[in-house]
Amino acid sequence: MHVVIFEGSRWHTFAPLSLSRPVFALASGACTLLEKHVRHLRPTRLTLWVRPALADYCRREMAPRLKVPVAVNEPLDDQTALLVSGRTLHFSRFEHTEEQCVIVDEANLIRKAVVRSPGLSYDDAMNRTPRWMKLFDLPRMDEQARMADYVWDLINWNEESLVEDFVAMGELPSAKPAGPYHIVHDENVWIAPQVKLEPGVVLDASRGPVMLDTGCSIGANAVLKGPCYVGAHAEVKPLCIIHAGTTIGPGCKVGGEIKNSILTANTNKAHEGYLGDSYLGEWVNLGAGTTTSNLKNTYGPIKLRIGAREFETGRRNLGSLIGDHSKTAIGTRLMTGSYVGYSSTIATSALPPTFIPSFRFITDRGSEEYRVEKILEVMKAVYGRRNKVPQPADEAMVRYAQEAAREVEG
| Residue 364 buriedness (CB in 10 A; 0-12 / 13-18 / 19+) | exposed
Report the CATH fold assignment for 182-409: UDP N-Acetylglucosamine Acyltransferase; domain 1 (2.160.10)
Residues in the chain: 410
Q: What is the CATH number of domain 2-149?
A: 3.90.550
| Element containing residue 405 per DSSP (H, E) | helix 392-409
Helical H runs in 17-157? Answer: 33-41, 55-57, 122-127, 130-133, 151-156
pLDDT of residue 98: 87
The shares of helix, strand and coil residues in the chain, as percent rounded to the nearest 5, are 25, 30, 45
The dihedral sign for the CA sequence 202, 205, 208, 210: positive
Q: What is the pTM of this model?
A: 0.96
Cβ neighbour number for residue 183 with a 10 Å cutoff: 17
Neighbours of 188 (CB within 10 A): 20
Is the CB of residue 112 less than 8 Å from the CB of residue 83? yes
Taking only the tens of pLDDT, the chain with its 410 residues reads 999 999 988 899 999 999 999 999 999 999 999 999 999 999 999 999 999 999 999 999 999 999 999 999 999 999 999 999 999 999 988 888 889 999 998 778 899 999 999 999 999 999 899 999 999 999 998 888 899 999 999 999 999 999 999 999 877 778 888 889 999 999 999 999 999 999 999 999 999 999 999 999 999 999 999 999 999 999 999 999 999 999 999 999 999 999 999 999 999 999 999 999 999 999 999 999 999 999 999 999 999 999 999 999 999 999 999 999 999 999 999 999 999 999 999 999 999 999 999 999 999 999 999 999 999 999 999 999 999 999 999 999 999 999 999 999 98
Question: So where are the chain's domains?
Answer: 2-149, 182-409
